[in-house]
Each structure stands twice: as structure tokens, then as C-alpha cells.
Amino acid sequence: MQPQTERYLDLARQGRNEWWRYALGVPVIVLSWLVLGYLPLFVLPANWLDDLFVAFVVVNFSMLMMLAGLAIATKWIHRRPLSTLVTPEARIDWRRMAHAAAVWAVFAAVSTGVEQLIYPGRYHLTFDPQRFFAFAALVVVLTPLQSATEELVFRGYLSQGLARLARRPAVVAIVSSALFAAPHLLNPEVARYGMLIMAANYFAIGMVLSVVALRDGRLELAIGLHAANNMFLALAASYEDSVLPSAAIVTAAEVDPWFSLVSIVAGGAVFYWWFFGRARRMRPG
């Protein structure tokens, strides 16, 4: 295990980590997400959810409730700061987070361009300036919070907790990625394209995020990558029937799960090389 990986996973030792605390903390997070987070679906009139802006806020509200549950579990059950899920350093590296977002956004744009070249006509223009700019403001505010919440839960809280049982980073990455993929199997595209291939997609992006976080020994790169990915889907290139409400500039009539899987693996390799392989080669001597 590399020193930075061990240092990050050992942040859990700053708090209280008896097994019963995780047995209590996980339900607090899940119930905050699924019960409190989805209350608007039962309270709001059904026709309100047809509105793009309302639907987007409702989807993200569930993630904000997950974040609230995580904060309660971390601070009051484990008795440690929420920041220990991000980094062992005193401050969060916002510049590194932005750098990661920029790199992944460029790759996503290139990947979309390649897909359009291979499959002409797959994307069609859906840009609507009356909706786009107001929706973009919502995306800029809410999507980074949504993405950061998932990273704090799966690559932070759960990964550090799993490391108390299994010290091998590979085991931590595989298990946390499987847990990350599981709730995504409820997305509508799973029924349309097949459980196995979509599970492979979700697991693959989970593994990319886990490998990056564990290799870096902190979460900023994973948060930046995740936020850029979701913002790109919401604003640049989306697909019909996406679980995420979107006002994207272009939209595909369908998703190609095999192209998506290859893109995730290729993008993860490029991203890893950019931040770790390239940096090593550039060192003198």
C-alpha cells in the first residue's frame, strides 16, 4: 500500500470506529437519502414534476439529504470532522479539484465527438436558450454538491470503513465500486439496455473514481471528475430517458452502453496517466 493511500484510509482512526457505529451510521445515511430525500415526490403535485427545473431540484434534494445524513453520522456517531473524508491535509485543494474537472470535461467532449463521427446522426441539436442558461445556473450550484456527496459516501465514508476490515486497496476499491453501482441499477436505462452491461458501466466508473482517490490519497480529483461528468451530461451532451433531468445542447436518441463502457475505461486510463504517470515522467532524474 502506498503511503498516501494508507494515510488517507487511516483518517478513520481519528474518530470512533466500533462496528456498531457503522451499523448505525449507514442506516442514518440511507434513511436520510431515501425517506427524507424523496418526500417531495409524495408532497408535490405530480404535474409539477413534469417541469425540468422542479424535477432537477427534486432529484438533487435527495442527495442533499444524503449529505445531511452523512454529516450526522460522521460528526455525531463517529465523532470526527467531515473534512477527514476528503483529505488528510488541513485544507481542501480546490485548484486540484478544478484541474480534474477540466481534464475530464475535455475528454468527455472528445469522446462525444468521436461517437458522433462513428455514428453520424446519433446526436441531435436540442439547445434552447430560454431554458439553457437558467438551468445551467441550477446545475453549477447543485451538481457539484450532488457529485461531492456521492464521493464522500462511497470513496470516503464507506472506503475508509471497509479499510478497517480489509487493508488491501484493491478489495476496498472493488467492494466500494460494487456498492456504488447497486443503487444505480434502479435507473431507467437498465431496463432498456440490460442489467449486465449497465452494471458494468456503473462499476467501471466507480472503479475509476476509487482507483484515483486511493492512488492520490484524497478525494479532490475524484470529486472534480465526477462533477465534470455529471455537468457535461446535464448541459452538453445527454441522452433521452436519462435519470438526470437535462437541458443539454445536444441529445442522443439512445445510449450506446458498449461505447460508454469503452469510453469510461479509456477516459480513466488517460486521466490516471495525466495526473500520475505523466507527473512521474516529468520529474528530473
- Reported as a single tens digit per residue, the pLDDT across 207-224 is 999 999 999 999 999 999
Whole-model pTM over 0.75: yes
pLDDT in tens, 70-126: 999 999 999 999 999 999 999 999 999 999 999 999 999 999 999 999 999 899 999
Confidence band of 285 (pLDDT split at 50, 70, 90)? very low
Average pLDDT over residues 3-16: 92
Average pLDDT, the chain: 93
Going from N- to C-terminal start, the domains of the chain cover 3-282
pLDDT of 265 strictly over 90: yes
pLDDT reported for residue 254: 83
pLDDT in tens, 232-252: 999 999 988 777 788 999 999
pLDDT reported for residue 280: 60
**Span between the terminal Cα atoms of the chain, in Å:** 24
Please give the residue that has the higher pLDDT: either 153 or 241: 153
pLDDT reported for residue 49: 84
pLDDT of 187 strictly over 90: no
pLDDT reported for residue 157: 97
